[in-house]
């Protein structure tokens, strides 16, 4: 059977992983395509193309700043058709129609001229260019969601000072989620209007907070992302202060939920003191219980605890967070060989992985990770250890889409782990919303069912989302339950249910948070 291989290179062209995946999916959807990829021309990606038989001369001179589209098809015409489909899918958003002419947008100035009514810019370019583009956007009077990583600390400080001087928001660097005026930005969930404003120095932490607030009846006014470093000592909470001021001034916001990993103590006190008379709950995961906070500010050390505390402020009754769907914990424990005692976590959400590490370290025992809370528990881990992986980290996304966008990396892990005789339980998060895969549970459920049916590790899953999300929350939960998974009410409970199964102690699933 013959195969035509065609590769097209777009020199000095950067597209983020979402657009790369759109190009890949556009090609894969065509009937005569056998394999396809749109990606940046990193060394690892070029090596992969050569291993598949793509000619060296077609890749000569390519580098990490170049984009390639590669396709294997039944013949050259089918391959060229696929390349054209990828080009259309990836670049359509970069051009606008002005009269009878289609104009490609190549700069921030081009974009502002084409859309003068815009009031926010989303920036996703390589880190070395990101600060300049963000400064341009601020100079045009735009709020900025800076999706890009690899921006220096000094650039972050200068950008946030620039934003404050113009009374604008600079969300980021590395800000993956926001909701302003009920408009979701980047990875965001569809939530009902409500009474709580969320500030987050954690992307999937923001999504967990907004999803729970929606599902539990409080609703959301705004979600303002900060980037993960804003509460560090050198950044000094520059944008956190601005965000609190915005929400305090917003007449619809009756309470504020602040989501973060532990903050520098002096910065935390300074930032939280800005709330004035607006009730504020700080969900600082793993924070010291004696953290010095202003009077009236409540501190909780899990996402679930933070949301429940905000509900209390608003006199809304919290649901039973220990409720699960699917088989019972004793039923799952009864299926396991007694030699299976370890936990594996395959997380797409970095904040959810961090929260799970905190809870398992407190209630289960040592857990290793590529992003350990206890730096002595890094990788590689000794044989038989419990391990949680944040698969959104660079070592797992280099040259491939983020696992929230494409679940295939977790499918591969699940298939490999099914044969490990030491593993009792695998924990997975399924993150819904804009930007995420259209049916992640549908991709993951069959491989979960296969692993469990073969006498392998059992699967505990958490679905982060709402009924308004394009994937549909209830349908995703039902798909996983039908596969035999236990599905929990919160991300924190998924970690605790995993501990209960691995330790053969059902009471662990119900500890107070």
Between CA 425 and CA 442 the distance in angstroms is 20
At 399 the pLDDT is 63
Judge whether 55 and 8 are in contact, CB under 8 Å: no
At 230 the pLDDT is 97
At 57 the pLDDT is 87
At 21 the pLDDT is 82
Q: How high does pLDDT run on average in the chain?
A: 93
Residues contacting residue 328 through CB under 8 Å, at least 6 positions apart: none
Between CA 339 and CA 384 the distance in angstroms is 10
Residue 98 has pLDDT above 60, yes or no: no
| Coil, strand or helix at 311 | helix
pLDDT grade for 293, boundaries at 50, 70 and 90: confident
pLDDT per residue as tens digits for the range 450-502: 999 978 999 999 999 999 999 999 999 999 999 999 999 999 999 999 999 99
pLDDT grade for 317, boundaries at 50, 70 and 90: very high
| Coil, strand or helix at 343 | strand
Q: Is the dihedral of CA 51, 54, 60, 62 positive or negative?
A: negative
At 447 the pLDDT is 97
Residue 25 has pLDDT above 70, yes or no: yes
- Compute φ and ψ for 8, nearest 5 degrees: -120, 135
Beta strands 177-180; 183-186: pairing state: antiparallel
At 15 the pLDDT is 84
Judge whether 254 and 277 are in contact, CB under 8 Å: no
At 18 the pLDDT is 75
DSSP 301: S
Concatenated DSSP letters for 364-424? T---EESS-SSGGG-SSPPTT--EEEETTSHHHHTTS--TTT-THHHHHHHHHHTT-TTEE
At 448 the pLDDT is 97
Residues contacting residue 58 through CB under 8 Å, at least 6 positions apart: 7, 9
From the number of C-beta atoms within 10 Å of its C-beta (0-12, 13-18, 19+), residue 359 rates as: buried
Nearest residue to 173 via CA among 189, 188, 184, 160: 160
Region 435-461: mean pLDDT is 94
At 92 the pLDDT is 79
| Tokens matching residue 89 | 């899918």
Between CA 67 and CA 38 the distance in angstroms is 7
Judge whether 253 and 198 are in contact, CB under 8 Å: no
Percent of the chain with pLDDT over 70: 97
Residue 119 has pLDDT above 70, yes or no: yes
| Coil, strand or helix at 188 | strand
pLDDT per residue as tens digits for the range 372-405: 999 999 999 999 999 999 999 988 887 677 899 8
Name the E strands within 57-168.
67-73, 95-98, 101-104, 120-123, 143-146
Between CA 114 and CA 426 the distance in angstroms is 49
Region 347-369: mean pLDDT is 97
Region 13-37: mean pLDDT is 88
DSSP 62: -
At 320 the pLDDT is 97
Concatenated DSSP letters for 239-251? HHHHHHHHHHH-T
> pLDDT higher for 194 or 107?
194
Between CA 89 and CA 20 the distance in angstroms is 9
């Amino acid at each position: 059977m013959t195969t035509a291989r065609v590769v097209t290179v777009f020199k000095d062209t950067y597209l983020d992983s979402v657009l790369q995946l759109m190009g890949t999916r556009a090609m894969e959807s065509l009937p005569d395509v056998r394999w396809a990829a749109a990606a940046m021309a990193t060394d690892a990606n070029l090596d992969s193309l050569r291993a598949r038989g793509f000619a060296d001369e077609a890749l000569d001179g390519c580098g990490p700043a170049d984009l390639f589209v590669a396709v294997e098809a039944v013949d050259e015409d089918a391959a060229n058709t696929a390349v054209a489909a990828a080009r259309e899918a990836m670049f359509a958003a970069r051009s606008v129609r002005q009269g009878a002419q289609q104009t490609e947008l190549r700069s921030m100035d081009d974009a502002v001229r084409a859309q003068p009514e815009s009031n926010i810019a989303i920036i996703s370019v390589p880190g070395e260019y990101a600060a300049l583009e963000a400064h341009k956007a601020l100079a045009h009077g735009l709020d900025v969601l800076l999706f890009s990583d690899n921006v220096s600390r000094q650039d972050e400080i200068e950008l946030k000072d620039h934003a404050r001087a113009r009374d604008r928001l600079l969300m980021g660097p590395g800000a993956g989620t926001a909701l302003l005026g009920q408009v979701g930005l980047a990875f965001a969930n569809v939530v009902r209007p409500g009474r709580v404003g969320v500030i987050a120095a954690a992307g999937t932490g923001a999504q967990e907070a907004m999803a729970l607030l929606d599902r539990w009846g409080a609703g959301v006014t705004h979600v303002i992302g900060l980037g993960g470093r804003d509460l560090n000592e050198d950044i000094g909470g520059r944008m956190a202060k601005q965000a609190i001021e915005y929400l305090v001034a917003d007449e619809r916001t009756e309470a504020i939920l602040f989501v973060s990993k532990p903050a520098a103590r002096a910065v935390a006190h300074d930032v939280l003191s800005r709330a004035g008379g607006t009730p504020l709950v700080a969900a600082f995961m793993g924070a010291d219980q004696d953290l010095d906070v202003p009077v009236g500010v409540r501190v909780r050390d899990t996402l679930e605890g933070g949301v429940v505390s905000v509900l209390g402020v608003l006199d809304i009754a919290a649901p039973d967070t220990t409720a699960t769907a699917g088989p019972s914990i004793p039923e799952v424990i009864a299926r396991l060989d007694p030699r299976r005692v370890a936990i594996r976590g395959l997380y797409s959400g970095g904040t959810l992985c961090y929260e799970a590490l905190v809870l398992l370290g407190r209630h289960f025992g040592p857990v290793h990770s590529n992003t350990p809370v206890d730096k002595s528990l890094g990788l590689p881990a000794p044989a038989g250890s419990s391990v949680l992986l944040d698969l959104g980290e660079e070592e797992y996304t280099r040259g491939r889409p983020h696992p929230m966008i494409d679940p295939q990396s977790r499918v591969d892990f699940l298939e490999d782990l099914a044969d490990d005789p030491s593993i009792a339980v695998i924990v997975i998060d399924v993150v819904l919303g804009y930007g995420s895969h259209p049916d992640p549970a549908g991709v993951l459920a069959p491989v979960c069912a296969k692993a469990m049916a073969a006498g392998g590790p059992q699967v505990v899953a958490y679905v982060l989302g709402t009924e308004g999300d394009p994937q549909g929350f209830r349908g995703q939960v039902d798909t996983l339950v039908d596969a035999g998974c236990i599905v929990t009410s919160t991300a924190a409970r998924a970690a605790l249910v995993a501990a209960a199964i691995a330790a053969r102690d059902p009471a662990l699933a119900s500890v107070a948070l």
